[in-house]
């Protein structure tokens, strides 16, 4: 997601920061720039891959996905930690303290493994020890938590500012078994439109109104579903469905503010008139801006602030290149 602060475009960081020499785009790429509000809306749905922890993060972490609303970590025991960033201060290089929400499956057992390989590769250059560097590392489009409850499997996906949990409930399995405890919440309540509002010290985070469906003869049929909240836990109530068929429950976690591990500012947007690709250029103080294989420079240039340029596909659903 890209948003405005103080008349400038700013976006959160996603992966590796790379120092970029002065770049001049071909004049034809500057023919028409997309409206910032259009880019904002579409980047919210940008698929963000999960990166396996190979020593670059806390050893308790199995996978992580750095979204525009903060990084989501999947622990080796199947906990889901949403690291929400603090708000930018008067000095745009500084932020207030962040906040963490941790989801755990009460009475369930999660075993995270990579699922659905992603086309995106990342390069990680951390510290001065080249033995710890990783180039062209594979990523996953989703993480499976396995059969968390008897007959109920859970799959995670990450997007620009959303985290999706997909519950696949097999025939005979009890939907009521699903109980998710949210540590770090200052309170939870179902809103008038069916969403789940989670209060934090930084503001409100919402889980969208859940969607449930069954597939019959290749057609999706909606199933009535609502949140069931008890203290610091939530689950689901479903009604009017065929218990002989699987049912899928699909809520999204959405952050209501922009963030990232540190500050990033997009100073320019440009559209390649011949291909429709979108270019974003700016600077960041973050050390986890996304780098993809084949970039012009594959390492952090050092110093407090680095420049970046990123190229996205015309539909703004894939990060094709970042340096």
pLDDT tens readout for residues 245-257 = 999 998 866 543 3
- Cβ atoms of 281 and 289 within 8 Å: the answer is no
Q: Is residue 109 scored above 80 in pLDDT?
A: yes
**Average pLDDT of the segment spanning 3-30:** 29
Q: Is residue 42 scored above 70 in pLDDT?
A: no
**Average pLDDT of the segment spanning 137-147:** 91
- What does the pLDDT read at residue 54? 82
d(CA 26, CA 113): 42
Question: For residue 148, which of 183, 113, 118, 182 has the smallest C-alpha distance?
Answer: 113
Confidence band, pLDDT 50/70/90 cuts, at residue 39: low
**Average pLDDT of the segment spanning 224-242:** 94
Q: Is residue 68 scored above 80 in pLDDT?
A: no
Mean pLDDT of the chain: 75
- 3-state SS record for the chain: CEEEECCEEEECCCCCCCCCCCCCCCHHHHCCCCCHHHHHHHHCCCEECEEECCCCCCCCEEEEEEECCEEEEEECCCCEEEEECCCECCCCCCECCCEEEEEEECCCCCCCEEEEEEEEEEEECCCCCHHHCEEEEEEEEEEEEEEEECCEEEEEEEECCEEEEEEEECCCCCHHHCCEEEECCCEEEECCCCCEEEEECCEEEEECCCEEEEEECCEEEEEEEEEEEECCEEEEEEECCCCCCCEEEECEEEECCCCCCCCEEEEEEEECCCCCCEEEEEEECCCCCCCCCCCCCCCCCCCCCEEEEEEECCCCCCEEEEC
Confidence band, pLDDT 50/70/90 cuts, at residue 87: low
- What does the pLDDT read at residue 103? 95
Query: Global pTM?
Result: 0.68
pLDDT tens readout for residues 264-314 = 566 777 777 778 777 878 777 665 555 544 555 545 555 567 777 777 776
- What does the pLDDT read at residue 81? 92
φ, ψ for residue 66, nearest 5 deg: -85, 95
Q: Is residue 220 scored above 50 in pLDDT?
A: yes
pLDDT tens readout for residues 150-170 = 999 999 998 877 788 999 999
Q: Is residue 86 scored above 90 in pLDDT?
A: no
Domain map of the chain by residue range?
2-46+259-322, 105-159+162-251
Confidence band, pLDDT 50/70/90 cuts, at residue 10: very low
């Amino acid at each position: 997601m890209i948003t405005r602060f103080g008349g400038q475009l700013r976006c959160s960081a996603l992966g590796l920061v790379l120092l970029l020499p002065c770049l001049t785009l071909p004049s034809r790429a500057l023919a028409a720039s997309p409206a910032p509000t259009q880019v904002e809306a579409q980047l919210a749905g940008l698929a963000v891959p999960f990166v396996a922890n190979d020593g670059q993060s806390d050893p308790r972490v199995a996978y992580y996905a750095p979204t525009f609303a903060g990084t989501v970590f999947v622990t080796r025991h199947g906990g889901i930690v949403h690291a929400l960033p603090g708000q930018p201060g008067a000095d745009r290089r500084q932020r207030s303290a962040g906040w963490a929400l941790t989801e755990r499956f009460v009475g369930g057992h999660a075993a995270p493994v990579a699922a659905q390989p992603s086309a995106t590769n990342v390069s990680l250059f951390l510290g001065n020890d080249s033995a710890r560097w990783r180039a062209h590392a594979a990523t996953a489009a989703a993480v499976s938590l396995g059969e968390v409850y008897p007959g109920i499997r859970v799959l995670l996906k990450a997007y620009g500012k959303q985290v999706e949990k997909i519950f696949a409930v097999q025939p005979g399995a009890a939907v009521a078994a699903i109980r998710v405890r949210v540590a770090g919440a200052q309170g939870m309540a179902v809103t008038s439109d069916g969403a789940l509002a989670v209060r934090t010290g930084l503001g409100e985070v919402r889980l969208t109104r859940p969607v449930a469906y069954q597939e019959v003869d290749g057609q999706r049929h909606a199933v009535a579903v609502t949140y069931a909240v008890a203290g610091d836990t939530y689950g689901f109530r479903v009604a009017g469905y065929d218990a002989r068929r699987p049912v899928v429950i699909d809520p999204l976690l959405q952050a209501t503010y922009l963030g990232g591990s540190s500050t990033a500012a997009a100073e320019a947007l440009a559209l390649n008139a011949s291909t429709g690709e979108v270019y974003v250029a700016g600077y960041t103080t973050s050390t986890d801006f996304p780098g993809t294989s084949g970039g012009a420079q594959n390492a952090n240039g050092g110093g407090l602030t680095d420049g970046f340029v990123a190229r996205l596909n015309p539909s703004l659903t894939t990060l094709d290149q970042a340096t």
